Amino acid sequence: MGDLHARRLLLLLPLFFFLVCLALSSSPHYDAEELLRSANEEKEWLVSIRRRIHEQPELRFQEHNTSAFIRFHLDRLGIPYSFPYARTGVLAQIGSGDPPIVALRADMDALPLQEMVEWEHKSKNDGVMHACGHDAHVTMLLGAAKLLNQRKNVLRGTVRLLFQPAEEGGAGAFHMIKEGALDGIEAIFAMHVDYRLPTGSISSIPGPSQAAVCFFEAKIEGRGGDAAKPHLNVDPLIAAAFAILSMQQLISREDDPLHSQVLSVTYVKGGSSFNETPPIVEFGGTLRSITTEGLQRLQRRVKEVIEGQAAVQRCKAVISMLAEEYPIYPAVVNDEELNDHLQQVGALLLGQDKVKMGGKIMAGEDFAFYQQLIPGVMFGIGMRNERAGSVYPPHSPHFFLDEEVLPIGAALHTAIVELYLNQRCMEV
């Protein structure tokens, strides 16, 4: 009898957990206004952090001060973290430490660009600038760290915060993963400031949203000599010219017109005299595709076309995709369910009319490395404000941030993971 009773109780256990879950976390009662209020109370703190990072921008894999600054604040907040990942990366953790574990990511590196904006907190490092908003990304994630830590007693699992180096061409995400930063994580989110969207709105798109990207370099070798006796030479310039033109047909004749690809030759080097044909011509550029498989196909054909055209002209070609130096970025593909979740959270926090459908772009983003392993969503957070002057595209020396975005991003980060964990709790 007693045994049966115990078993009955055991059967009721899931129901019990479900009710606890429901009581603690049902999203209709999620207090978005309270969260936004808490985030706004931190605005001054957030602005000061962002300005400090903006003044001391650091290039990829050299984010030493930025990383130390992040750790300083995590220490002050009493949030545990591991360091280093991929040289300067920091991995902070809030919550029980048990699954489910959900992650938020911010990139830390700046660009090799001279800031042209004259203001009090202009970059103090000549030729280096936060012109892609990574200073804001770090700040918003630190803001989320503070908010999540204040509210950690309601967290139904674990949140990891990835402060990642080298998004700009260094594939920092790839190196973070190699060192185990993604272990145990089941879903990941990241935001990027967007100068096209008004402050207070977000945009996202399910499925493929940013291109797979690689660079390439070709060297065509002939035999140099007197330009008055071309028949005695082998001219690599002609081979390069044919190769560059032929490659363009790979997009117009071989790729589905409804699929998106880019092939840009961005430099040609060869020769230095009026009277000699050169022995070698080099050229290179970038290949992009909205799918990772598309990029692999394009790479194969680029190699074949350059080698083939070189052979026609009696030259030899060597092609490199520079994968060691610039790891190939896969395409950013947003998970549909997580994208729905993001849009619901956005509507709850900002209003339904502030959640826009995003567009695809052919820029790369190393967040794609995380998405190759686990579902994730990368979305845009608006920061366009004519009055603030934040109307310039990323990688412009005039790039300027509307700092009003900072508390909004911190609150969004917080709600995304809190509500994600609540939902997971309901599924168990």
Q: Does 125 bind ligand NAG (CB under 6 A)?
A: yes
Considering beta carbons, is residue 58 or 235 the nearer one to ligand NAG? 58
Residue nearest to ligand NAG (CB): 56
Q: Does 56 bind ligand NAG (CB under 6 A)?
A: yes
Considering beta carbons, is residue 134 or 160 the nearer one to ligand NAG? 134
Cβ 44 to ligand NAG shortest distance, Å: 22
Q: Does 65 bind ligand NAG (CB under 6 A)?
A: yes
Cβ 133 to ligand NAG shortest distance, Å: 18
**Residue 406: C-alpha distances to residues 10, 38, 64, 361 (Å):** 47, 12, 23, 24
* DSSP 3-state of 304: helix
Cβ 53 to ligand NAG shortest distance, Å: 10
Cβ 57 to ligand NAG shortest distance, Å: 7
Cβ 48 to ligand NAG shortest distance, Å: 16
Which of 58, 167, 194, 235: binder of ligand NAG (CB under 6 A)?
A: 58
Cβ 72 to ligand NAG shortest distance, Å: 12
Rounded distance, CA 170 to CA 123, Å? 22
CA contacts within 13 A on the Cβ side of 191: 32
Considering beta carbons, is residue 17 or 72 the nearer one to ligand NAG? 72
Instruction: Please count the residues of this chain forming the interface with ligand NAG, following the rule CB under 6 A.
Output: 4
- 268-295 exposure pattern, b = at least 16 Cβ within 10 A, e = fewer: bebbeeeeebbbbbbbbbbbbbbbbebb
DSSP secondary structure string, 85-108? ETTTEEEEEEE-SPSPEEEEEEE-
Residue listed under structure tokens 């022995």: 279
Considering beta carbons, is residue 125 or 296 the nearer one to ligand NAG? 125
Rounded distance, CA 340 to CA 143, Å? 24
Long-range contacts of 350-353 (CB under 8 A, 24+ apart): 350/200, 350/201, 350/202, 350/408, 350/412
Considering beta carbons, is residue 125 or 246 the nearer one to ligand NAG? 125
Binding site for ligand NAG (CB under 6 A): 56, 58, 65, 125
